[in-house]
Chains A and B, each alone.
Chain A
Amino acid sequence: MKRDFITAGIGIVVLTLFCGILYPLVITGISQVAFPGNANGQQVKVNGKLVGSQLIGQNFATQVFKNGKPEMQSGEPVTNPDPRYFQTRPSATVPPNNAAATTFSNLGPNNTATEQEISSNIKAYIALNGPYYSGKLTAANVPVDAANTSASGIDPDISVRNADIQAHRVAAVRRLPLATVMKLVSKYTGGRGLGFSGEPGVDVLDLNLALDRTGGVRA
């Protein structure tokens, strides 16, 4: 019995050193040498300034100002989606797309709160993209990924259909030919893992930065 306590006491300390210190340090060392870009979060820089991570979906919105002061609502600045940019999926974090405090929406399948949330996402999506769309944009043809909250709240990707609809708006606002924007969309569409695992998605940050480089109206 006493021997067990001694063995357990020493054992937990040496195993902590082995599994909790040595193992993560070795992995960190190898990663930082072999894959420094990935290990540090695939940081994207423009003119030497950090503007995001390729893996993290951002809120491409601008702050709303009222009388020269940023408008606030329950402690968070009010924002409007920037029509020049492709928009990421709805997010449940506070503020939206907060990659320092991720959370699920945890909205149930039969709850009225869920229906209201989806409806308001649909309304916002139609208000933003409807005027530029080639046909009539209704709830029935809003893609599900644009109406439903992502899991992480920082989903970097949108579906191809979602990107196609937004492309009409982005092209119009930036005064670029639709074909140019569409070409960029397909350029930044990722495939499935090993050709079958998962779904294709369009990386929104990559696409938006490529648009900025392409030119057109920026302001």
Chain B
Amino acid sequence: MTFTGWLTIVLFVVALSVLAMPLGRYMAAVYAGQRTVLDPLFLTPERLFYRIMRVNPEQGQDWKAYAKSLIIFSLAGWLLLYLILRTQGLWNWTGLNPEHFHSAPWNVTFNTTSSFVTNTNWQYYGGETTMSYFSQMAGLTVQNFLSAGVGIAVAVALIRGIIGRSGKSIGNFWQDLIRTVLWVLTPIAFVVALVLVFQGSIQNFSHYLNFNGPTGLANSIAMGPVASQEAIKELGTNGGGFFNTNSAHPFENPTGFTNLVEMLSVLIIPAALVFMYGRMAGNRRQGYAIYATMAVMFLGAVCVAYVAEAHGSPAQHAAGLHTQVVAGSTGGNMEGKEQRFGIAGSALFDVVTTVTSCGAVNSAIESFTGIGGAVPMANLSASEVIFGGVGTGLYSILLYVLLAVFIGGLMVGRTPEYLGKKIEGREIKLVALGLLITPLSALFSTALATASAAGRQSISAAAAGTPQGFSETFYAYLSQANNNGSAFAGYGGFVQPNAGNLGSHGITFADLLGGFTMLFARFAPILFALAVAGALVGKRVSPAGLGTMRTDNPTFVVLLIGVIVLVGALTFFPALLLGPIVQGLTGHLY
């Protein structure tokens, strides 16, 4: 551990808070339909979109109509993406497939399509050996925008349900989607993409470079429109890398500075949404309380990961390496980490990417130490509520808030109320279902994949028969159920003996189980969140009395953290014990 390492972590959290507050204010104006600075730029395109799509943005939707539009739109996105990926070879005329890659097989494509439409970006393929530039741009990048837009729309709809004073409308899905894409995602992605190119990311449509290096050895370097995809990949907490090694690849993440920019891009919208919520609820302290909950859990995770990785791994020590900091070397567990990020920059990125539903990585999570690897799993086990994905984080933690209010209400013996609205049986049933589906699908799929021979063939050779093999499996389904997309990447669903997809084949079991896990664990909780919005929106607001439990003070923050940790721990602790914790507790090799 070094002073600059800790300094990076502290400055990062400060920078995040400072940047997210004004963005939250701006976004509150965007969704309330108030005037913003970017109106002159986007009002005309917005009207154009509505006219072409035949949408009447003034028409409010009740939760069922809202959900219907959302599901049908996601289905349309799924079909178009599947079509684009499966017809990759037909788009060679655009010049955007210079390496003439074939399509990946149907099972892998099913997984990939489900993955990008659900904001997961789990990848059973290597970008630079599988995807044409056309597929990356017109297919994957588009869903990076739209799946993020869908997530934010759900969060905004749930907020409207909580704060709504009358009627049934929770907003208009199409309006929320278009305004998110135009006012929020596009302008920030534009700036971030150009900053990345300015720092060294590439953005071109060239052939791969083939040449002989200074020693005469043949080299090949993959090219492509990287920066534009990289920016929205972080911003939309999507995480699907242009290249196989994701944000560890120097073209995706060239410097220590871009590492900082990318981490901020991942967290900025989830953090801003929390401040936005406080403003929309008419009590900014409600937002601060949730932000404090998230920040405390985030910092805890970062500290554990940094200490664990700085200590080094049993394999390093057995080989005789010294892992302390010495002059000119940071020491620590550098297996699967890049020199320019070092230990702190890798541990911090790892936590940033797993508390959100991002899943981009700048280091190999599978090579993290036992405890270092338990941190991302614990983050995932908390159901992505520590900032969480864009939109998903806020709507999930709001469900937890309702649960905490309910439990608190039981403890003080009063009918639970949140922002003046009574939380009753129907709401709590919906909340519980919404919160339990994700852990349930993660554990169910893990069990299925661990118990079956078809499931076990995805485990990497080096990890087979060890706790590491179980960790790979558990992480795979935990990550896909939480729509995260990071991986213990030895776990495979795609076998590619040659570049260019010739002779490649998918592992059908892993591809399909993963694909269905992602779809189910994405859309079922969305439906429950919208149903909660529908149940709350028409409720009468009663004024706060003396006995009302406050939800904007430190006591409530502690209660909320307790509820999140308790639910996550009770659900996942046995599984965590079998994998990473066993490894963290022993210095033995196997």
Asked if A10 is at the interface of the complex by the 8 Å CB criterion, the answer is: yes
Kindly supply a per-residue 1/0 record for chain B positions 447-485, scoring 1 wherever the CB is within 8 Å of any chain A CB and 0 otherwise: 000000000000010110011100100000000000000
Given contacts A20-B139, A52-B211, A193-B257, contact A104 B489 (CB under 8 A): yes
Which one of A38, A155, A160, A162 has the highest number of Cβ atoms from chain B below 10 Å of its Cβ? A38
Contact indicator A100/B364 (Cβ below 8 Å): no
- Does A16 make an interface contact (CB < 8 A)? yes
When the two chains form their complex, are residues B260 and A115 in contact, meaning their CB atoms are under 8 A apart? no
Q: A56-B250, A155-B339, A160-B329 are in contact. Are A38 and B200 (CB under 8 A)?
A: yes
Would you call B18 an interface residue if the criterion is a C-beta within 8 Å of the partner chain's C-beta atoms?
no
Stretch at the interface among A29-37, A127-135, A168-176: A29-37
B194 lies within 8 A of chain A by Cβ: yes
**Which residues from B are CB-within-8-Å of A46?**
214
- Asked whether B217 lies within 8 Å of A152 as measured between CB atoms, the reply is no
Within 8 A of A (CB), among B196-212: 197-206, 208-209, 211-212
* Known contacts A21-B138, A110-B370, A150-B338: A62-B219 contact under CB 8 Å: no
Q: How many residues of chain B get a CB closer than 8 Å to chain A's CBs?
A: 136
Task: Tell me the B293-351 residues at the A interface (CB within 8 Å).
Answer: 312-316, 318-323, 326-342, 345-346
B69 touches A102 (CB 8 A): no
Contact B54 A212 (CB under 8 A): no
- Classify the secondary structure of A's interface with B: mixed
Please encode chain A, from 8 to 34, with 1 for each CB lying within 8 Å of some chain B CB and 0 for all others: 111111111011110110111011101
Please tell me if the beta carbons of B205 and A151 are within 8 angstroms of each other in the complex. no
A9 to B53, CA, bound (A): 8
Cross-chain contact B202 with A109 (CB below 8 angstroms): no
B228 touches A30 (CB 8 A): no
Contact of A150 among B220, B339, B489 (CB under 8 A): B339
Supply 28 A–B pairs (Cβ within 8 Å), ascending by A.
A4-B68, A7-B54, A8-B76, A9-B76, A10-B53, A16-B142, A24-B141, A34-B197, A53-B209, A55-B200, A62-B217, A85-B215, A99-B221, A100-B221, A100-B499, A101-B499, A102-B245, A109-B368, A112-B590, A114-B462, A118-B335, A144-B312, A145-B329, A145-B334, A151-B362, A152-B245, A158-B339, A193-B258
**Chain B residues in contact with chain A, CB under 8 A?**
4, 7-8, 11, 49, 52-55, 68-69, 72-73, 75-77, 80, 126, 128-129, 137-139, 141-142, 144-146, 174, 177, 181, 186, 189-190, 193-194, 197-206, 208-209, 211-217, 219-223, 225, 227-229, 232, 243-245, 248-251, 254-260, 312-316, 318-323, 326-342, 345-346, 361-364, 366-370, 372-373, 460, 462-463, 466-468, 471, 488-490, 499, 583, 586, 588-590
